[in-house]
Amino acid sequence: MSDGTLSQAELDALLAGTGESPVAVAGGNDHERQLLQDFLVSSADSLSANFSQLTATEVSLKGPEVSFTNQDALLEQLPDMVTMVKADFNAGFPGEHLFMMGEATAKAIAARMTQEEDIQMDAMALSVIGELVSNLVGTQITALTKQTGNKSIASVSPEASNVPKAVVALPGGDFSAALYQLDLGDGNTQQFWEIYSSRVSESIARSLDKDTVSTAGSSPPPRNSTMSARGGGMSGIGNSGMTGQPAQVQSVQFPGLTPHPMAQEQGNIGLIMDVFMEMTVELGRTKKLIKEILGMGEGTIIELDKLAGEPVDILVNHKLIAKGEVVVIDENFGVRVTEIVSPMERMQD
């Protein structure tokens, strides 16, 4: 008679019967998973370099390991609070695409990028994480464009949020999850996930699959047969077969995948070329008490936070973009640009 406990075999049978899943679940196919993983691994060095530049420290990014999973299996691995960054593709491979990390990991990354301690996941920290993901996605799109020849790949502007994992919106059904191991230079390993919906991962894998492209595009022999028939031999038609004509006509469309001028991107940026933006030059700043401001009058000297001879700040829409030196042009003041501000400095500002 049983004592009420279940054996391992019985547990396995129950899990199989109720649909409970471990971290990796059935879905997609291993060839698709391997193609996506190989691509992401090949981009890891570029992503590490971008991480290092934005955090001003030597960053090591390992992996990723790609697996097919689902919402329940992934959420089991996450802490109660997570930082999610939506970066859906809206062209090329349209569909859901996002990054996911624990709140502690997001804080560690944001602290390195802002050089601040005890950082909170406020609007500024979320903006920093969004900027990082935007940089990573841009690097991946560049690599995808180069490897697939697809010039139309684009994503929405990444939007970060810090939420309880219970309300996280993940793709439905099974999806691809790439697990990265991140070392921010302190010896501690942080983890984050890059998630693709099944539709997106399948489209990317199909475009990366050289065997599929070469098989579908293996049309030179039929084309030669058609040419020989045109050259004066009915035997050419007999060799290719009349029933093969539609396949031959379809296959010649593949040369369109070769690189072509980026007219579309140029056209998009051209839409906003005549938009006015406010540009200001800031000599310096200071803070005063209300009583000091009320006491100002003619002849009052206000001491600024800039030393004499220091570059002045050049701002566009109140965002620091460059530094320069003041010059005089035909009795008018001007400013000569001497330095373009790096993305790291822009985020700190």
Residue spans of the chain under pLDDT 50: 1-2, 13-26, 213-245, 247-266
Dump strand ranges (E) for the chain. Answer: 60-69, 81-86, 89-91, 97-102, 154-155, 159-164, 175-183, 189-197, 279-282, 312-316, 319-329, 332-340
Residue 46 Cα distances to 109, 140, 160, angstroms: 17, 9, 22
Helix (H, G, I), strand (E, B), or coil: what is residue 238?
helix
CATH superfamily of 279-295+303-348: SpoA-like (2.30.330.10)
pLDDT at 241: 45
Whether 112 contacts 184, CB under 8 Å? yes
Determine the Cα–Cα distance for residues 160 and 137; give it in Å rounded to an integer. Answer: 14
Determine the Cα–Cα distance for residues 143 and 147; give it in Å rounded to an integer. Answer: 6
Name the residue ranges covered by the structural domains of the chain: 21-207, 279-295+303-348
Quick one: fold of 21-207?
Chemotaxis protein chec (3.40.1550)
Determine the Cα–Cα distance for residues 47 and 66; give it in Å rounded to an integer. Answer: 16
pTM value surpassing 0.75:
no
pLDDT at 164: 92
Q: Return the amino acid letter for 8.
A: Q
Phi, psi dihedrals of residue 270, rounded to the nearest 5°: -65, -25
Phi, psi dihedrals of residue 133, rounded to the nearest 5°: -65, -40
In terms of Cα–Cα distance, which of 66, 65, 85, 69 is closest to 77? 69
pLDDT at 218: 45
Pairing of strands 97-102, 189-197: antiparallel
pLDDT at 112: 84
pLDDT in tens, 236-258: 444 444 444 454 444 444 444 44
Q: Return the amino acid letter for 178.
A: A
